[in-house]
Amino acid sequence: MAPGNEKNEVEFTMENLRKGIKEFLLKYSSPTSLSPKALPLDTNFVTIISIHEGSEGAAWVKRYLSEHGWTGKVIVVSDHNNQHYDAMAASDFGFVYDGQMVSSANALHLPVNTMLQMRMHHQFYNDFFNRWWNDMNIVADNSVNKELIGGEFWWGKICDTLAENYIDPRVRYQTIQKLNGFVQDGMSLKPLDRQEVRTKDLMIDGQAFDQYYDPFTLATKKMWNDIQAYEGFGASSNADGLRVQIPSL
């Protein structure tokens, strides 16, 4: 689980995550499960908590764990040396506060539920005007990542979601299948410059070609151009991005 980077995000997510995961573990692991086939808690269940090292959220999570503890084995990883990617690749299911980590999880074939804190009126307008909130859901025009917004995020739903994926492993693969092709569609395409690259096989020229822009680099360049335009002319000269319509698939 990735409970968020900001203090307000982890305050919103941690308590319900702790209760929901605890409830799931008590019901489906021995010695507390009523099932005679339940697997032992200590050797078969691990919770991985992914934090952004040095953030307010990371400090809050560490204090919370020292005060409240955790049911079962827990491992805390960070973005140091890409530990968070290793953790997602090794996991079976995830809860991620809405952000870049969601698309990363999708690329690594990890089914996730997204969490997002909204007040009631914000949630009303989101439900009324928006079809989806998460970026990958918008790209796929489908609820590939179930969105737990505002009051929808509570420990009972967390427990039930984990149980559904644990009892029937096919649910995991059905979720991954929904993402087929959309991870590529979610990346920013870099147009090919035929003045420099002329052959069909891009490597024959001896030139390396990045098919996709890094999304953060692309956004930074656009913002910097707008800042320069504002400082030079008093207003932004490029608002095309605000007028783009996302087609329904």
On whether residue 1 sits in a domain, the answer given is no
**Helices 155-167 & 7-28 angle (0-180, nearest 10):** 50
Structural domain that includes position 180? 7-185
Would you say residue 207 has pLDDT above 70?
no
DSSP state of 205: T
What residues contact residue 8 under an 8 Å CB cut-off, 6+ apart?
Answer: 117
On whether both 239 and 158 belong to a single domain, the answer is no
Averaged pLDDT score across all residues of the chain = 84
For residues 38 and 154, state if they share a domain: yes
Residue range 226-245: mean pLDDT, rounded: 61
Q: Provide mean pLDDT across the span 213-241.
A: 68
Of the given ranges (66-75, 105-114, 173-182), which has the lowest mean pLDDT? 173-182
The answer to whether the beta carbons of residues 17 and 3 sit under 8 Å apart is: yes
Phi-psi region of 97 (alpha: psi -120 to 50; beta: other; left: phi over 0): beta
Region 58-76: what's the mean pLDDT? 96
104 and 206 both lie in a single domain? no
Q: Which residues pair with 2 in a beta bridge?
A: 96
Say how far apart CA 121 and CA 85 lie, in whole Å: 35
- Farthest CA pair distance, the chain: 73
Question: Which helix (H) or strand (E) segment is 7 a member of?
Answer: helix 7-28
Is pLDDT at 238 greater than 60 in this prediction?
A: no
2 part of a folded domain = no
Our count of domains for the chain comes to 2
The predicted structure's pLDDT at residue 36: 92
Q: What percent of the chain has pLDDT over 70?
A: 81
204, pLDDT greater than 60: no
Question: Residue 123: is its pLDDT beyond 70?
Answer: yes
pLDDT of residue 205: 47
- Mark which of 142, 164, 185 sits at the end of a domain: 185
Please report whether residue 175 resides in a domain: yes
DSSP character string of 60-123: HHHHHHHHH--SSEEEEE-SGGGHHHHHHHT-S-EEEESSHHHHHHHHTT--EEEEE---HHHH
The residue-averaged pLDDT of 128-156 equals 87
Q: Mention every residue, 6+ apart, whose C-beta is less than 8 A from residue 189.
A: 211, 212, 213
Give the count of alpha carbons within 13 A of 143, CB side only.
Answer: 7
What pLDDT, on a 0 to 100 scale, did the predictor assign at position 215?
Answer: 63
Greatest mean pLDDT among 144-158, 183-197, 198-212: 144-158
Please indicate, yes or no, if residue 125 is contained in any of the structural domains: yes
Give the pLDDT score at 155: 96
CB-facing half-sphere around the CA of 3: CA atoms within 13 A: 29
Judged against a pLDDT cut of 90, whether residue 148 lies above it is answered with yes
Q: Are residues 65 and 150 in the same domain?
A: yes
The stretch 185-210 carries a mean pLDDT of 61
What value does the mean pLDDT take over residues 62-88? 94
Measure the CA–CA gap between 20 and 25, rounded to whole angstroms. Answer: 9
Query: In the listed set 185, 203, 226, which residue is the last one of a domain according to the structure?
Result: 185
